[in-house]
Amino acid sequence: MKILVLGGDGYLGWPTALHLSAAGHDVAVADNFARRGYDYEMGVDSLIPIEPLQTRVNTWYQLTGKRIGMYIGDLCDADFTYRTVGDFAPEAIVHYAEQRAAPYSMVDRKHAVYTQTNNVVGNLNVLYAIAEINPDIHLVKLGTMGEYGTPNIDIEEGWLEIQHKGRTDRVLFPKRPGSFYHLSKVHDSHNIEFACRIWGIRATDLNQGVVYGQQTPETAADDRLATRYDYDAVFGTMLNRFVIQSVIGLPLTVYGNGSQTRGLIDIRDTVRCIQLACENPAARGEFRVFNQMTQAMSVQQVAETIAAASPEAVTIEHVDNPRVELEDHYYNVVYTGLADLGLEAHLLSDTLIDSLFEITKRYAHRVRPEAMLPTIQWRKTSSIISN
Amino acid sequence: MKILVLGGDGYLGWPTALHLSAAGHDVAVADNFARRGYDYEMGVDSLIPIEPLQTRVNTWYQLTGKRIGMYIGDLCDADFTYRTVGDFAPEAIVHYAEQRAAPYSMVDRKHAVYTQTNNVVGNLNVLYAIAEINPDIHLVKLGTMGEYGTPNIDIEEGWLEIQHKGRTDRVLFPKRPGSFYHLSKVHDSHNIEFACRIWGIRATDLNQGVVYGQQTPETAADDRLATRYDYDAVFGTMLNRFVIQSVIGLPLTVYGNGSQTRGLIDIRDTVRCIQLACENPAARGEFRVFNQMTQAMSVQQVAETIAAASPEAVTIEHVDNPRVELEDHYYNVVYTGLADLGLEAHLLSDTLIDSLFEITKRYAHRVRPEAMLPTIQWRKTSSIISN
């Protein structure tokens, strides 16, 4: 298949592009390098050095003889979006190309407006490009489990069979997310469902849990193919951050009492989920939703798992929760759709954690420890982004 | 109370400002005249001539001795929004200042992106201005009944008590709207609920039905105080448009079989609802939702009501439905919240229709009949905006 990966230079976009290419698909990536730009703003960098996109693509070609196309530009620029979709003529578009950090969206008004504008407008442009250029293209859109929030009922896969006052309906699962970033993806989901309904396009919305891990078989083949690894309090997801804290001898910083529960997924399963979604497209007019996670753990459980696996003595420190979120809440998620398509999950294991310890140790000298302390307060309207 | 009416130059914003001023409140309006600008783009004009905002405000002062403050600018310009809120220091902000026509948002990609950006960013700026300047300000936000779509269950007021697999929760009512405009207000509602949750601000979201009528006691006091009356297929709401079609001897154009049912409200009840919401504010941290309508009728029933009341012989013509929407659907809406606060509804009556016939006859020579034919097709990604 011809598959276009939007945001193909990012933490997950790049490994996804390699995985799809390795699986025999004809892949192109599009990126505006916004993610690399946020690093300058925050004064941090990927723990593991990453090469320019051009070097990555050339390395992959040298190693495998497989070409990955490159489109450099911004999806909010509709001309770029239309030109890219028209030129590459994909059968599926994997859309990672959004600002993806909840804390970044909560810095202040400008960051909230940027996040929602960038994500919603970019996604609208993609929807229109598909509808106008080739409505048969399958949109595989990355959403987040955070769209749902933490309802007191089971979280179904996007839709909910509902009974109310003796009547029934199938409705979009009600969402109550926890940041302006998560809200931007709720907005996207509503816009995509509508586009499927009026134009008959096909879409899969993947509500992904917190991703951990850094290597896939493809990225591990050469240092120059490495994907980024974020440890800072803004873009670093919790498990990845805990690993680095343990390696450099800092306490693992758990927000609040740590009872907040999250869906998790191994990076190797992420790329496999995308492949499964692409190879088993939604029907025309269908808005299909999968919950892309393989297990649920509380933040405290994740910290304890890392602490137990660490070769060093590790302490866990509870810091004031900078977010506004429920602790001690109900959390039970249905996530059978991708398993039904063939996903065989890698559950969090000592092996994975060991390999993470190893690679983070190698680059531990690159850590700026103060960047791991949370500075962005949900209850405030304006925070300083970095220490 | 000090009340700031955003979009105070518009069809409902202006009568609301007058009504609140007449009721003894200290009122200011803000507007960027975007609505007047759309007229140039479409080559139409309000059926009933309207004066510049400055003339309106001066006339009101001459008649009543009451001052209405004026702020000219765009809410998407955060400096303007902050300056206005800071300078006027309102206790309540009534927010009408959004692009409000479903067909306009469906013209093409640019109009969809404009509508969502304008509405979502303007509203985000208002939320931040409230949170930063005075979180005690009560936001009274105009939403639309169209946010809900037409679910097969009763439509509650914004929230839904839900039972699922033996558990219960109170969730935001699931929404499945029918245009990029309606979606923009769904996005707003989600953003506002979140702002209430994290910053403890207070908000009332008013999901309003289709408004009909042109006069309130205040606007009727002087021709120079008239509010706009739109008859075109883009901004003209159905009942108002039917009245004009009957007056100028054209068939009433019903989309599809006309079984689509909508909530309706008299313009005199709109302004009263806003007053009630302002004078009975939501609690700090509360996201309160009312369904602002007083009766439900199908499009066919509305057309038949106008035809029966018309002194002329009137025919009803069914045209291909340019929208993608359900016909012959279930529609049962709860709208008790505003009645509980004291709303005494004006139901659609012969008296109201007679007065509409009268005033539209007076200006019938201003009608451009071809502007009443729908040109914007939901199933297409690009339409010509005007005949």
Interface ipTM: 0.98
Q: Do B120 and A125 touch (CB under 8 A)?
A: no
- Whether residue B190 and residue A167 make contact (CB cut-off 8 A), yes or no, is no
- Contact list in B for residue A77 (CB cut-off 8 A) is none
Q: Name every residue whose Cβ is closer than 8 Å to that of residue A32 and which is 6 or more positions away in sequence.
A: A72, A73, A74, A75, A97
What SS3 class is residue A222?
coil
- b/e string for B286-308 if b means 16 or more Cβ within 10 A? bbbbbbbbbbbbbbbbbbbbbbe
CB-closest option in B131, B153, B199 to A162: B153
B154 vs A172: CB contact, 8 Å cut-off? no
Contacts of A177 in chain B (CB under 8 A): 190, 194
Q: Closest CB to B162: pick one of A109, A153, A179.
A: A153
Alpha carbon B170 to chain centroid, angstroms: 27
Plot region of B43 (φ>0 → left; ψ -120 to 50 → alpha; else → beta): left
Q: Indicate which residue of B81, B84, B115, B144 is catalytic.
A: B144
The whole-angstrom separation of Cα A88 and Cα B184 is: 31
Q: Is the pTM of this model over 0.90?
A: yes
pLDDT at residue number A123? 98
Q: Is B312 left (phi over 0), alpha (psi -120 to 50) or beta?
A: beta
**Average confidence (pLDDT) over B138-150:** 98
Supply the pLDDT for residue A351.
84
Using CA coordinates, name the residue in chain B closest to A122: B113
Residues of chain A with pLDDT under 50: none
End-to-end CA distance of chain B: 45
Both tokens of B61, joined, read 């002062």
The 10 Å CB-count burial string (b at 16+, else e) for A14-34 is bbbbbbbbbbebbbbbbbbeb
Mutate which of A109, A179, A332 to test chain B, going by most B C-beta atoms within 10 A? A109
Question: Which one, of B12, B214, B190, lies nearest residue B94 by Cα?
Answer: B12
Q: Which residues of B touch A188 (CB under 8 A)?
A: none
Question: How confident is the model over B14-34, as pLDDT tens digits?
Answer: 999 999 999 999 999 999 999
Chain A nearest C-alpha distance from B43 (Å): 26
Whether the predicted pLDDT of B387 surpasses 80 = no
Local confidence band at B340 (pLDDT 50, 70, 90 cut-offs): very high
CA distances from A291 to A275, A297, B382 (A): 15, 15, 33
pLDDT at position B351 is 84
Question: Among all residues of chain B, which has the CA nearest to that of A108?
Answer: B128
C-alpha distances out from residue A11 to A244, A277, A299, B81, B250, Å: 17, 19, 21, 37, 61
A222-259: b or e for each residue (b if 16 or more CB lie within 10 Å)?
eebbbbbbbbbbbbbbbbbbbbbbbbeebbbbbbbebe
Cα separation, B178 vs B356, in Å, equals 29
The residue from B38, B81, B115, B185 that is catalytic is B185
Write the pLDDT tens digit of every residue in B31-61.
Answer: 999 999 999 999 999 999 999 999 999 999 9
Of B153, B168, B191, the CB nearest to A183: B191
Cβ distance of A153 and B176 shorter than 8 Å:
no
Tell me which residues of A are annotated as active site: 144, 181, 185
3-state helix, strand, coil in chain A (%, to 5): 40, 20, 40
Please tell me the distance in Å from B176's CA to the nearest CA on chain A: 7
Tell me how far apart the alpha carbons of residues B339 and A275 are, in angstroms, rounded to a whole number: 54
Instruction: Write down how long chain A is.
Output: 387
Both structure tokens of A166? 């003796």
Strands B261-266 and B210-212, by their bridges, are parallel
Active-site residue among B181, B231, B255, B331?
A: B181
Chain A residue numbers with beta carbons less than 8 Å from the beta carbon of B159 are none
pLDDT at B312: 87
CA distance B36 to B379: 28
Catalytic residue flag (residue B144): yes
Angle, helices A238-247 vs A299-309, to 10°: value is 30
Q: How far apart are CA A214 and CA A378, in angstroms?
A: 28
Residue of A nearest to B155 (CA): A164
Q: Got the DSSP string for A66-96?
A: --EEEEES-TTSHHHHHHHHHHH--SEEEE-
> Tokens 């405009």 identify what position?
B181
Nearest Cα residue to A276 out of A19, A57, A29, A7: A19
The confidence score (pLDDT) of residue A44 equals 94
* pLDDT tens figures, A237-261: 999 999 999 999 999 999 999 999 9
pLDDT value at residue A312: 87
Report which secondary-structure segment, H or E, holds A159: strand A159-164
